[in-house]
Structure 1
Amino acid sequence: METSRNPGSAPRLTASYRIETPCDPERAAEAMAGEQSSGTFLKLAGETEALRERHAARVEAVIHRETVTTPSLPGAPPGDAYARADVTLSWPLENIGASLPNLLATVLGNLTELRELSGIRLMDVELPTRFIEALPGPQFSIDGTRRLTGVGDGPLIGTIIKPSVGLSPEETAALVKQLIEAGIDFIKDDELIADPPYSPLRERVPAVMRVIEEHAQRTGRKPMYAFNITGDTDEMRHRHDLVRDHGGTCVMASVNWIGLGALMGLRRHAQLAIHGHRNGWGLFYRHPQIGMSYRAYQALLRLAGADHLHVNGLASKFAEADASVIDSARACLRPLLERPERDDRAMPVFSSAQTVHQAHATFSQLQSTDLIYTCGGGIMAHPDGVAAGCRSIRAAWEAASSGVSLEDHAKQEPDLAVALRAFRSPFSG
């Protein structure tokens, strides 16, 4: 059963949910709308009908799904049955203005604690054009990233500094030299290293950039290095400037821990590409009845200014299903606004146990090479060395994009042949 109401003419934002409730889903949806607008179960002094008409959240649709006998989450009133339903709510844009933090407070906020709900997951958001245009969005996006790296087509082949922790600035620079001479397009700090005492950014940045600039002057090719500048807003602005002043082209931040406000503050200051790392994402997706989908969250991260966004990888070491990974990547590549003067896509970053094996599946399911394909062991553990590892990954993508099997392409690409023997099949299908 579905119920729906027609929206008014004023700009409204819409959020879609999957809920579970011991109540009638219609009643639960009304409770959600009330909690996130008028905000109480009692009629308030001053809460006129005109005010409610102008500012109340509205239930746009309720679609009943299945019924289960056990609640997914604790804290709900006891019941004999728990109904699951898809609910769509909308709010007038004037309730929040152009504010990403207040958008999340409105569309999710206290909903995760309502007793009427034994499960709630934010599935998607639809935002008015006025809201999207008021926010900065990515500064470089896909085309800008390709311009900065000089990679006009195909995926950016990347890697992560390993070991994740412990290397000095000089040791990091030596590894970077080896990687860029091997032909890497993109290198990033691990999320575990930002500005630690054993490798402070004020030393690591100049050491790494000295190697990259020397390579660029000699070859005309300048790979991108994403320095992890995660910190408070003032720290990130200072660290961004340090990278910029030494010729860097990219900074990285752990977006779940700095928050949308700090990401947007960094974007408004930034002159460099922003690499958004989503470590900690499992808190949002691992239980199907709580949290939010990446389809919804990635739109907010892009509006805040992320140029690249992690999406995990196919057949990875993590728990996320392959279908979810591809859905996340497709969402990143879908424009929020179809405007020639504004490219608000984000380049999806595939990572986590990626090797030559996943190239075909990634390309066939995504049907795009607008991505960063980062391999740690898949490059650096190649039996014939890092350069051979880079060549093997590039050869795997050449095979994938041309429709040739890895085995056939390996007959003329010895580095790929070695990689196929060296690396086991992926963790999952």
Structure 2
Amino acid sequence: MTDTHFTADYLIETPLPLEKVAEIMAGEQSSGTFIRVAGETDDLRARARAEVLGVVDLGEIDHPTLPSAWLIRRGITTRPHRATVRISFPIDNIGVNLAALASTVAGNLYDLGEVTGLRLENINLPASWRRRYLLPKQGIAGTRRLTGVAEGPMIGSIIKPNVGLTPEDTAKLVGRLCDAGVDFIKDDEISADPVHAPLAKRIPAVMAVVKRVEDRLGRRVMIAFNITDETDAMRRHADLVESEGGTCVMANLNWCGFSAVETLRRSTDLALHGHRNGFGALSRCDVLGIGFGAYQVLWRLAGVDHMHVHGLDGKFAQENSEVIESTAMCLTALDDQSDDRVLPAFSSGQWAGTVPVTWKAAGGDDFLFMAGGGIMGHPGGPAAGIESIRAAFHAMKNGKTLEDAADTSEPLRKALEFFGKAA
């Protein structure tokens, strides 16, 4: 990789010669098409064509993963092979244009008739080009400053019930969580600007409570208001959050799109909490879609500060190994000349019992650990739920087991008894 090119890594499946398919991919996503055309000079190809850097055959499989009418029409029934492919793309084909970058590395390739599977795994950018895109406004350091949590994991919760609460109900629940000692609270991804709790009323009601608690506790809990909407509405709602003294907004990344999130990032210094709901549709098939490696690069170029990685031993389908790898990616700078790390956010079925595996996975304490039911459902109430999680992290830091720590922490003991066997 040079300052003039970037690379993308793929997993492909095809019954055709692997090197030929890789060359088709490179041509399709740069200067070529299925046949050489007028104007496609040698000079133009030298400047603008993508180049295949490597193909590694991973072996034959029994059946194609996806159907291809193109292959059927040609009577091709050969068993497919899978392979990794690395392609180098000229930066000048794209400029500084995130939507164009995504279209290049993850566009028509998925529809190529020659493949029965294709997955974008990673994108590798030269530092000089990465710095021309947006950076996190807050990131890890800024989030710690805004929450007043100088060290240790940040403990968060989610508004539950997910929907149906009025602005006044929501504010009361936020007050309970703030009083209980939480560091961060977010809206659920499906609760944005509903009729029963419009943001215009919910934001002032919640922030009035947050500021009253701040007067008593000496710190302001970070609230991630879900402002997912069309771009102008998102900007208006972010302005309202900021005017009311808020520090964070949340966007459902996949449904807002790159342009809306980039525009939001440019218009506010608030921490931007990136929720990835819908990512499973892009990633759960092992030979189709996009892996988190490439996904998180694209959204970090849009300037998000926090990225969801799901939870360990949680309620979703991801293997723990995938969550661990995703966490490490968030905590690794894309550009070694600036700190563009983003805060990994663990969620989904989290409680004190999932703390040990989370602590080990994170390799430190720069992360956000969010529990909804694990806090709100604790038999001793939210304060006991938060204390059980803090006691679990304290045990990990001091090399103890949860069972040993439960001897001196009633909230932790009750959590282990109520929620089940510890992870």
Q: Does TM, scored on the shorter chain, surpass 0.5?
A: yes
SS of the residue corresponding to residue 257 of structure 2 reads: helix
Give 1:21 deviation, angstroms: 0.4
**CA–CA distance in structure 2, aligned partners of residues 280 and 336 of structure 1:** 24
Match of 1:312 in 2: 310
Return the match for 1:44 from 23, 30, 37: 37
Match of 1:3 in 2: none
Match of 1:421 in 2: 417
**CA–CA distance in structure 1, aligned partners of residues 121 and 89 of structure 2:** 16
SS of the residue corresponding to residue 164 of structure 2 reads: coil
Contact kept, 8 Å, 1:303 with 1:344, in 2: the verdict is: no
- Amino acid aligned to 2:315: K
**CA–CA distance in structure 2, aligned partners of residues 157 and 420 of structure 1:** 18
Q: What does the per-residue CA deviation read over 1:330-349, in whole Å, with 9 as the maximum and x for residues that have no partner?
A: 1000001122xx32111000
**CA–CA distance in structure 1, aligned partners of residues 100 and 129 of structure 2:** 12
Higher mean displacement: 125-134 or 304-313: 125-134
Give 1:425 deviation, angstroms: 3.6
Gaps of 5+ in 1: 1-6
Higher mean displacement: 11-20 or 36-45: 36-45
**CA–CA distance in structure 2, aligned partners of residues 372 and 336 of structure 1:** 20
Match of 1:100 in 2: 98
Return the match for 2:250 from 245, 252, 263: 252
Give 1:219 deviation, angstroms: 2.1
**What does 1:257-268 correspond to in 2, within 5 Å?**
257-268=255-266
- Amino acid aligned to 2:52: V
Contact kept, 8 Å, 2:156 with 2:184, in 1: the verdict is: yes
Contact kept, 8 Å, 1:142 with 1:345, in 2: the verdict is: yes
Contact kept, 8 Å, 1:19 with 1:121, in 2: the verdict is: yes
Paired residues, number = 418
SS of the residue corresponding to residue 53 of structure 1 reads: helix
Identity of aligned residues (%): 49
Asked if 1:23 is matched to 2:16, the reply is yes
Match of 2:64 in 1: 71
**CA–CA distance in structure 2, aligned partners of residues 304 and 371 of structure 1:** 20
SS of the residue corresponding to residue 256 of structure 1 reads: helix
**CA–CA distance in structure 1, aligned partners of residues 130 and 398 of structure 2:** 37
**RMSD, aligned CA:** 1.2
Give 1:401 deviation, angstroms: 2.3
Match of 1:347 in 2: 343
Match of 1:4 in 2: none
Higher mean displacement: 244-253 or 357-366: 357-366
**CA–CA distance in structure 1, aligned partners of residues 129 and 230 of structure 2:** 26
**CA–CA distance in structure 2, aligned partners of residues 370 and 299 of structure 1:** 19
Return the match for 1:326 from 321, 324, 345: 324
Return the match for 1:365 from 352, 361, 365: 361
**CA–CA distance in structure 2, aligned partners of residues 213 and 54 of structure 1:** 57
- Amino acid aligned to 1:336: L
**CA–CA distance in structure 2, aligned partners of residues 17 and 162 of structure 1:** 39
**CA–CA distance in structure 2, aligned partners of residues 156 and 97 of structure 1:** 37
Contact kept, 8 Å, 1:274 with 1:307, in 2: the verdict is: yes
Give 1:64 deviation, angstroms: 0.7
Match of 1:295 in 2: 293
Match of 1:155 in 2: 153
Give 1:10 deviation, angstroms: 5.6
**CA–CA distance in structure 2, aligned partners of residues 104 and 271 of structure 1:** 25
**CA–CA distance in structure 2, aligned partners of residues 12 and 79 of structure 1:** 37
Asked if 1:228 is matched to 2:226, the reply is yes
**CA–CA distance in structure 2, aligned partners of residues 44 and 261 of structure 1:** 33
Match of 2:185 in 1: 187
Higher mean displacement: 121-130 or 236-245: 121-130
Match of 1:385 in 2: 381
Gaps of 5+ in 2: none
Give 1:137 deviation, angstroms: 1.3
TM-score, normalised on structure 1? 0.96
Higher mean displacement: 142-151 or 99-108: 99-108
Contact kept, 8 Å, 1:139 with 1:273, in 2: the verdict is: yes
Asked if 1:356 is matched to 2:352, the reply is yes
Asked if 1:197 is matched to 2:195, the reply is yes
Contact kept, 8 Å, 1:10 with 1:92, in 2: the verdict is: no
Contact kept, 8 Å, 1:275 with 1:307, in 2: the verdict is: yes
Give 1:284 deviation, angstroms: 1.1
SS of the residue corresponding to residue 395 of structure 1 reads: helix
- Amino acid aligned to 1:271: D
Give 1:392 deviation, angstroms: 0.5
**CA–CA distance in structure 1, aligned partners of residues 151 and 282 of structure 2:** 33
The runs of at least 4 aligned residues of structure 1 exceeding 6 Å deviation read none
Contact kept, 8 Å, 1:253 with 1:276, in 2: the verdict is: yes
Match of 1:132 in 2: 130
